[in-house]
Chain A
């Protein structure tokens, strides 16, 4: 079985400060990891993914994520947060042999001006 944990329901940061959203996963084989963002009353938008290769993955809007196999983590980061980054962020994982994309419960990010 595969699962994702996002340990923080909310993350609050000041504009210009670094932003980190945490994610840990559990999967039987090699993980396929994704980050999505959801703005109010909108669908989910794809940010980035880790499939294989370099552990640091760069994505849309200046976001990046670091895959750490030993810690089974895939934390989302942005060096300098913007007010417009305020949204709900979801981490998701798939196993090679499963069609299901398993989502975490989501982390609400609030960036204050």
Chain B
């Protein structure tokens, strides 16, 4: 039982390049989330998927797109990377979108945009 896995672990992009961050969970969870973590700012929600087939914007969606490929997988795409998107990205999942369910986090992807 691997929990939440993310690939890649590290990535360096040039401004304007695109890439997709992959996330998968094996806990049969319904809901999945993408966050970014910046120093002194905690985690901020980029997009979430309350259930398979649905996606919604979070707090900081600009410059990102997501795909809920199936119940297990939720990808985050940067179409044209900018230096402001340099951050650590975390994927998370929860059994339900309800507020009383804790979220389980992946190990993160450290992205640098030059």
| A binding-site residues for B, Cβ under 8 Å | 4, 32, 34, 36, 41-46, 49, 51, 90, 94-96, 98-101, 103-106
Select one of A45, A90, A95, A105 contacting B99, CB under 8 A: A95
* Residue interface mask B28-70, A partner, CB < 8 A = 1: 0000010000001111110010100000101100000000000
Q: Are A100 and B100 in contact (CB under 8 A)?
A: no
Given A43-B4, A43-B108, A44-B90, also A101-B42 (CB < 8 A): no
Please report the C-alpha to C-alpha distance between residue A69 and residue B104 in the assembled complex, in whole angstroms: 26
Please report the C-alpha to C-alpha distance between residue A36 and residue B58 in the assembled complex, in whole angstroms: 20
Please report the C-alpha to C-alpha distance between residue A46 and residue B103 in the assembled complex, in whole angstroms: 7
Please report the C-alpha to C-alpha distance between residue A104 and residue B41 in the assembled complex, in whole angstroms: 7
Main secondary structure, interface of B, reads loop
Task: Give the chain A neighbours of B43 by CB distance below 8 A.
Answer: 44, 90, 101, 103
Q: Pick the most buried of B43, B44, B59, B105: most chain A CB atoms within 10 A of its CB.
A: B43
